Amino acid sequence: MVAGGGASVIEVRELTRRFGQFTAVDGISFDVSEGEVFAFLGPNGAGKSTTINMLCTLAHPTAGQVTVAGFDVAARPKAVRRNIGLVFQDQTLDEQLTAQENLRFHAVLYRVPSGEVDERIARVLELVDLSDRRYDLVSEFSGGMARRLEIARALMHVPRVLFLDEPTLGLDPQTRALMWEDVLRLREESNVTVFLTTHYMDEAEYADRIAIIDHGRIVALDTPVALKAAIGADTVELGTTDDAAAIAALERAGYRVEAVAGGARVFVENGENAVAALIETAGVPVLNVHVHRPTLDDVFLHYTGREIREAHAEAIPARVRAWHGRRR
Amino acid sequence: MSSAPLPSKIADGSDTVLRDEVRTTGMVWLRELIRFERTRTRILSGLIQPVLFLVVMGYGMSGLVGTTAGFDFKKFMFPGIMAMSVVTTAIFSGMSIVWDREFGFLREMLVAPTSRASLALGKTAGGASVAAAQGTIMLVLAPLIGVHLTAVLVLEIIGLELLMAIAMTAFGVFVATHIERMEGFQVVMQMLLFPMIFLSGALFPLNSLPGWLTVLTRINPLTYAVAPLRQVVFAAQNMPAAARHRFPATVELFGHTLSIGTEIAIVVVFAGIFIALAIRGFSRTE
Ligand SMILES: Nc1ncnc2c1ncn2[C@@H]1O[C@H](COP(=O)(O)OP(=O)(O)OP(=O)(O)O)[C@@H](O)[C@H]1O
Ligand SMILES: [Mg+2]
């Protein structure tokens, strides 16, 4: 195994999926390197799950090529499956079994050698902090615990690539943070590549690279820092005793400035480093300073013309637990 | 505390190893047993329906039909009721795939790097074990009915129940892979299961039915599964010729009385067909 970056573990070329006339995934191409955390960020219906399903051999591409862990998904689906771990958008645990029984079931289906099963169960449960729940029925788990158990299960067979479709959907902020700790630690310890989809901006920040997907196309793909840098500079807003004078002075000094409600807005490369020079240049007493860096929200808005928050309703989490209401 | 990294597995890409497939089948089978053992209420409710039939119909009909040489209708019904219990549980177990789908667990099975045949076989073996167990529990009622049990008879009954259960669980799996929603489940129960039970000879003798109904009973696989069960039970009872004549246990096909071996062979053929269909259905799912 190659340690840390370099070799591609996922290669996607012109991948397309149509449902009748409707094109859900529209000719996307990208590579993911070994050990990378790669995020698909997009609104509802963007084509995230459809893409993951094709990468995991669960759906057939209409056109295009995908290799995962060196195997073509169309030609060698079983080999691909043995090398990936999967956490679906919807829960897929057997709630009438205990945590251990769910993990054991998975271990056998994924050909974990019998002698190693117990040790691995202990190991993955420790990783997601559920060791004390090993013998409990999953029906007694909270939504967050069930989610973490699913992640643990996906790790039972030591996958090279871990696919997570909205892994934190329906989790509270603490549990989300815990889960991210799990994922990042895992990458650290086992160099597993993580491919995930998410609605949450703050979550995408954890990724090494982000692909923003909208209407089945990748509209931007880069590191979080580069994405933010690409949509523009930082802005510094100055409130002064005499805004007109300040604006005039700053413009004379060659800054790009515009007047806003609270004073002057200046566009600069690096807002924090520019503050001292700006105050000096303004020439009038400065009352307040506000530095704004572009966020991923700005990036998303820039590329899709929409706020992601309006694109996804917070009501969705109800779905994960809704399964419990429908037990036999 | 930082533990040692997980051992890395080298992907060899080899696709099918028989030993692994057998392990898979065993695991799916085990899951069915665990779930059966855990749902005691289901075991109990599985007993209620047959007992009701036995009590209500058995006693009611016994009054009507009367007793011939110490043998009454309840004793005639008893093997049929056991068969009914096995068949109902078997179809339910096979069709529990519909629930697996509803609760998402089916996906966990389907994406695994195993052959679908191993999954279908495991599901069939598990459901059949559960169904045979449920049918065997019915034996506690035997003394109440006045049916005499011997060790050999119990073994024969378990064997026949297993065969019948395998055929019907596979049938259930096959049907389940062809229905998408829960509603379909109800329809199947109403349209398939109950007619099959009523036309199998489980509840009343098949010898005085009108011609077209006779045809239906003879194409019903259950007919050939119920008859042997009744034959072995009757063989172990002290039954005078008059009673044998009054309560026939055999099936006639094209004017010949089938031997127990022929009946079993017919069920084996049906089981083989249903297993093949179940595997095919499973392989096509999603
Ligand atoms: N089986 C299907 N048949 C028809 N259309 C489908 C099917 N699956 C997905 N689609 C359509 O493809 C588009 C992409 O769906 P997909 O599930 O990939 O979106 P997503 O990005 O995962 O959205 P979400 O954030 O809601 O999970 C949607 O418009 C959806 O309606
Ligand atoms: Mg999705």
Residues A172 and A68 in one domain: yes
Report yes or no on A21 lying in a domain. yes
Reported ipTM: the value is 0.86
CATH number for the domain harbouring residue A242: 3.30.70.120
Residues A77 and A172 in one domain: yes
Confidence of residue A65 (pLDDT cuts 50, 70, 90): very high
**Which residue has the least CA distance to atom 4 on ligand 1?**
A19
Is A216 a pocket residue for ligand 1 (Cβ < 6 Å)? no
pLDDT of residue A2: 36
Cα–Cα distance, B212 to B235 (Å, whole number): 30
The number of helix segments (H) and strand segments (E) in chain A equals: 13, 14
H/E stretch holding B283: helix B260-284
Range of the domain at A46: 8-83+159-228+306-323
Confidence of residue A231 (pLDDT cuts 50, 70, 90): confident
Confidence of residue A110 (pLDDT cuts 50, 70, 90): very high
Percent of chain A clearing pLDDT 90 (strictly above): 42
H/E stretch holding B129: helix B116-137
What residues of chain A lie within 8 A of the CB of B40, using their CB?
none
pLDDT of residue A169: 77
Q: Is 80 exceeded by the pLDDT of residue A4?
A: no
pLDDT of residue A22: 94
- Check residues B170 and A313 and name the one with the higher pLDDT: B170
pLDDT of residue A307: 65
Report yes or no on B10 lying in a domain. no
Q: Mean pLDDT throughout A50-73?
A: 93
Is A54 a pocket residue for ligand 1 (Cβ < 6 Å)? no
CATH number for the domain harbouring residue A210: 3.40.50.300
Total number of domains in chain A:
2
Q: Is 70 exceeded by the pLDDT of residue B15?
A: no
Using CB atoms, pick whichever of A56, A110, A190 lies closest to residue B6.
A190
Mean pLDDT over all residues of chain B? 85
Q: Is 80 exceeded by the pLDDT of residue A201?
A: no
Residues A244 and A257 in one domain: yes
Contacts by A198-201, CB closer than 8 A, 24 or more apart = A198/A39, A198/A40, A198/A41, A198/A166, A198/A167, A198/A168, A199/A41, A199/A43, A199/A44, A199/A166, A199/A169, A199/A308, A199/A311, A199/A312, A200/A168, A200/A176, A201/A41, A201/A295, A201/A296, A201/A297, A201/A300, A201/A308
Other beta carbons within 10 Å of A153: 26
Report yes or no on B29 lying in a domain. yes
Contact A120, A110 (CB under 8 A): no
pLDDT of residue B245: 79
Residues A39 and A163 in one domain: yes
Report yes or no on B3 lying in a domain. no
Which of A182-191, A309-318, B166-175 is most confident? B166-175
A23 CA distance to ligand 1 centroid (A)? 10
**Which residue has the least CA distance to atom 31 on ligand 1?**
A45
What residues of chain B lie within 8 A of the CB of A56, using their CB?
111
pLDDT of residue A308: 59
Cα–Cα distance, A210 to A198 (Å, whole number): 10
Report yes or no on B12 lying in a domain. no
Q: What is the pLDDT of residues B105-152, one digit of tens each?
A: 998 998 898 889 999 999 999 999 999 999 999 898 888 888 889 999
Q: Is 80 exceeded by the pLDDT of residue B286?
A: no
Q: What is the pLDDT of residues A147-171, one digit of tens each?
A: 889 989 998 988 999 999 988 877 7
Report yes or no on A221 lying in a domain. yes
Confidence of residue B99 (pLDDT cuts 50, 70, 90): confident
Q: Is 70 exceeded by the pLDDT of residue A109?
A: yes
Q: What is the pTM of this model?
A: 0.80
Confidence of residue A6 (pLDDT cuts 50, 70, 90): low
Range of the domain at B96: 20-284
Report yes or no on B8 lying in a domain. no
Residues A16 and A78 in one domain: yes
Residues A188 and A280 in one domain: no
Residue-wise burial string across A72-108, b where 16 or more C-beta atoms lie within 10 A, e elsewhere: ebeebbbbbbbbbbbbbbebbbbbbbbbbbbbbbbbb
Total number of domains in chain B:
1
Report yes or no on B227 lying in a domain. yes
What residues of chain A lie within 8 A of the CB of B7, using their CB?
116, 158
Mutate which of A40, A44, A212 for ligand 1? The one with the most ligand atoms within 8 Å of its CB, which is A44
